[in-house]
Amino acid sequence: MQYKPFGETGVRIAGIGQGTTGMGTKHLFPNEYIQKRIHALKLGIDLGMTFVDTASLYGNGFSEEVVGIALKGVRHKCFLATKFYPHEKMNSQDIRQALEGSLERLQTDWIDLYQIHWPNHRVKYQSVFEVLDKYRMGGAIRFFGICNFTPQETSALSKCIPDISIASNEIELNLQARLMGNEFLHSHDFKGALLAYSPLNQGRIVGTEAQARLIRTLGEKYRVTPSQVVLAWLLSLERVFPIVKAATQRHIKNNAEAMHLVLSPEDIQQISNSWGDEIFEAKPERIKLRGTPQRKPYLTEEEAIENSP
Ligand SMILES: NC(=O)c1ccc[n+]([C@@H]2O[C@H](COP(=O)([O-])OP(=O)(O)OC[C@H]3O[C@@H](n4cnc5c(N)ncnc54)[C@H](OP(=O)(O)O)[C@@H]3O)[C@@H](O)[C@H]2O)c1
């Protein structure tokens, strides 16, 4: 299923999107590695994965710059998604700057999908979208999206901006993380596209031993790799678009091929049946957050907001 209707927007886009995390900030990785990522993205586009997802937060804008280079000459055939993270102190000038910064780094005149990266209940979304909607009308934004919004946060947002249409929500969705995706898949309120990030569980692919056995068996049956089985299964779910990050050409080719893999309804059902969540209560004092000397974890929402740009 190479192309799929993008929620209720009326457009069809590539079923698998290319993720663009892990490029670091400028000067962090050698140029050779960045060139490799540019080649990988270009190859993915050549092979039909024309949906590309980035964010202004990735590498402080560096990921957008790299995407801008990779899309040179092929921008017109791509569906380009990026994100920004509004905070409550942002005024209309800041919002304009954020959008114009992304357009400049991406070397484009328009963004197909402009997404709010994380929910923040302190933000006055009405004012944010008032500014952004002018850009949509001017052609710099085609569709609006959100990321990491729960069903409750999504309906609160829709009430606050009743005239704005939200085309998609990007959430973690893979063989291990299903709770939120499942709620959205059965939701009567939100009918937008679901962009499944970390579809391969960040390279781990499966969650449990039983899933590993099932996915391996299906891989042998269809003569494909386990990751292709998982991507094809996600693709088979209505409104779901896996967004997978691959830096290696072998993985890119593998992922692009998965767009053409059709699993039988029985096999899709078997995988869906194995999609279980284990819910347990974790006492907050038993949760340990690991950080690095350069990057300390935030322990409260206030700390995170205090440190936002
Ligand atoms: N909206 C949000 O808040 C949010 C949050 C997280 C992620 N995202 C988006 O989602 C994208 C993907 O998520 P992710 O990077 O966390 O996880 P992921 O795509 O599930 O996993 C990436 C890992 O899987 C490996 N891989 C890729 N294709 C493979 C294949 N065919 N076979 C085996 N391994 C394969 C990659 O290896 P190589 O790189 O070595 O090829 C990489 O180590 C991100 O890049 C980003 O665009 C969005």
Q: Which residues, including other chains, have CB under 8 Å from residue 141's CB and lie 6 or more apart? A: 99, 110, 111, 114, 132, 135
Q: Please, which pLDDT band fits residue 229 given cuts at 50, 70 and 90?
A: very high
Residue nearest to atom 23 of ligand 1 (CA): 203
Q: Give the residue extent of every domain in the chain.
A: 3-306
Least confident of 52-56, 167-171, 185-189, 256-260: 185-189
Most distant CA pair in the chain: distance in Å? Answer: 56
Q: Please, which pLDDT band fits residue 308 given cuts at 50, 70 and 90?
A: low
Closest of 60, 122, 52, 59 to residue 86, by C-alpha: 122
Pick the CATH number of 3-306 from 3.20.20.100, 3.40.980.10, 3.40.1160.10, 3.30.460.80: 3.20.20.100
CB distance 248 to ligand 1 below 6 Å: yes
State the distance from the centre of ligand 1 to the C-alpha of 22, rounded, in angstroms.
9
Distance CA 309, CA 294 (A): 17
Residue nearest to atom 13 of ligand 1 (CA): 198
State the distance from the centre of ligand 1 to the C-alpha of 192, rounded, in angstroms.
22
Query: Given the structure tokens 């959100």, which residue do they identify?
Result: 146
For the chain, the distance separating the N- and C-terminal CA atoms, rounded to the nearest angstrom, is: 40
Closest of 175, 105, 182 to residue 150, by C-alpha: 182
**pLDDT value of residue 68:** 98
Three-state DSSP at 260 gives coil
**pLDDT value of residue 281:** 80
Residue nearest to atom 19 of ligand 1 (CA): 244
Q: Please, which pLDDT band fits residue 277 given cuts at 50, 70 and 90?
A: low
Q: Is the pLDDT of residue 279 over 70?
A: no
State the distance from the centre of ligand 1 to the C-alpha of 194, rounded, in angstroms.
16
Catalytic residues: 58
pTM here is 0.92
Degrees, nearest 5: CA angle 3-215-279: 95
Q: Is the pLDDT of residue 209 over 80?
A: yes
CB distance 17 to ligand 1 below 6 Å: no
Distance CA 156, CA 289 (A): 30
Atom of ligand 1 nearest to the CA of 248: 41
CB distance 34 to ligand 1 below 6 Å: no
In one-letter notation, the amino acid at residue 16 is I
pLDDT, mean over the chain: 93
CB distance 244 to ligand 1 below 6 Å: yes
CB distance 255 to ligand 1 below 6 Å: yes
Closest of 105, 165, 160, 97 to residue 133, by C-alpha: 165
Q: Is the pLDDT of residue 306 over 90?
A: no
CB distance 67 to ligand 1 below 6 Å: no
Helices (H) and strands (E) in the chain, counts: 11, 10
State the distance from the centre of ligand 1 to the C-alpha of 242, rounded, in angstroms.
10
Q: Is the pLDDT of residue 108 over 60?
A: yes
